[in-house]
Structure 1
């Protein structure tokens, strides 16, 4: 119960899926947590579940005004923090020829621009010796059809995390990324899919993942918290949590 006692954390994008799994694990370990989301229904569900155990704040990561206000709220309610998990993200399956300027901007505004300015605003509030973890994706370098813009946005985020790791070395703040594969979450990592498309996507994931299954949000959360608190001599890395997919393992035939 006291694994994270006296620790303070911010989880950006913490109302469902991987973010919520990280929030729950932090709270179970005794941490003080502020989480964000922009969907009011999801926020209300989290408030109902967690009650006063965590602060659930509405904040749109595409809005620089919201990001600035979030920084003020973190400073006012938590003061200095030990850990920031930048997890807010969006994915749309869209063939290259159908990408519009609006859909391109929508993905980059959340996944890259929002993450960048969130980290810039919160970095001064992270204690020396603290940590950041970003959520990237195995789509960074997998060449998955229909995910050109999403993949590029996450690859840019990966590059930013590496540079931030170098820039924060004088403060001994570690910056790493977790790169999930096919993970069982409410959206399956791709918004806007029909139920039939989501089931097909899930079936594909089970087939092409060497471990022949999806990961759980809790399994990714364990990797996030390892990077956040336990990997004290690790910075600038991207840890894949994908059942062996990125390693191109070939499982035995059944």
Structure 2
């Protein structure tokens, strides 16, 4: 599990940026996807949280390393997002509903986010935030802030 999490969430993005950076035009942008788990210390998610924290650190480092090419590197950090993942992880519908309700209770905005909300943050960092690099934007209903 450890290797799988780090391969997917840290090594994969590192090698992808390494290969694609020479192809990105000056003024271009990279947006990495971290997670609220990189700051929350969620029980049962040690390897996932650690891999996402490594990715957050990588975003900062790449932001400085790619400055000479005028490439900005930022990150978006989703919290709980309304996707089919809970139903895949918890095949028992009642258990999935309980997890969903418990999670909603921990989010200050009292709801899951949407894919569209994540996309808007990514688009902002990729195209509009032209004087921003090394930033992580949490899109998590305030969960990481309280």
- When the two structures are superposed, what TM-score results if normalisation uses the length of structure 2? 0.94
CA RMSD of superposed structures (Å): 1.4
Unaligned runs of 5+ residues in structure 2 are: none
- Larger strand share, 1 or 2: 1
Could you say which residue in structure 1 is the equivalent of 2:84?
A: 186
Could you say which residue in structure 1 is the equivalent of 2:116?
A: 218
For residues 230 and 135 of structure 1, what CA distance do their matches in structure 2 show? Answer: 17
Unaligned runs of 5+ residues in structure 1 are: 1-102, 249-254
- Work out which structure has the larger RCO, using CA pairs closer than 8 Å and 6 or more positions apart in sequence: 2
1:23-58: CA deviation from partner (whole Å, max 9, x where unpaired): xxxxxxxxxxxxxxxxxxxxxxxxxxxxxxxxxxxx
Residues 1:104 and 2:2 aligned together: yes
| Matched residue SS, 2:75 | strand
For residues 158 and 212 of structure 1, what CA distance do their matches in structure 2 show? Answer: 26
Could you say which residue in structure 1 is the equivalent of 2:96?
A: 198
For residues 5 and 141 of structure 2, what CA distance do their matches in structure 1 show? Answer: 26
Cα–Cα, structure 1 residues 186 and 117, in superposed 2: closer, same or farther, change >3 Å? same
Residues 1:115 and 2:44 aligned together: no
Cα deviation for residue 178 of structure 1 reads 0.2
For residues 137 and 217 of structure 1, what CA distance do their matches in structure 2 show? Answer: 14
Could you say which residue in structure 1 is the equivalent of 2:40?
A: 142
| Pair member with larger Rg | 1
- Larger helix share, 1 or 2: 2
Residues 1:128 and 2:26 aligned together: yes
For residues 133 and 11 of structure 2, what CA distance do their matches in structure 1 show? Answer: 22
Q: How many residues align?
A: 145
Q: Which runs of 4+ in 1 moved over 4 A?
A: none
| Matched residue SS, 1:176 | strand
For residues 217 and 227 of structure 1, what CA distance do their matches in structure 2 show? Answer: 16
Counterpart selection for 2:70 from 154, 165, 172 = 172
| Matched residue SS, 2:143 | coil
For residues 123 and 196 of structure 1, what CA distance do their matches in structure 2 show? Answer: 45
For residues 115 and 193 of structure 1, what CA distance do their matches in structure 2 show? Answer: 28
- When the two structures are superposed, what TM-score results if normalisation uses the length of structure 1? 0.55
1:1-254 pair list within 5 angstroms: 103-188=1-86, 192-194=89-91, 195-248=93-146
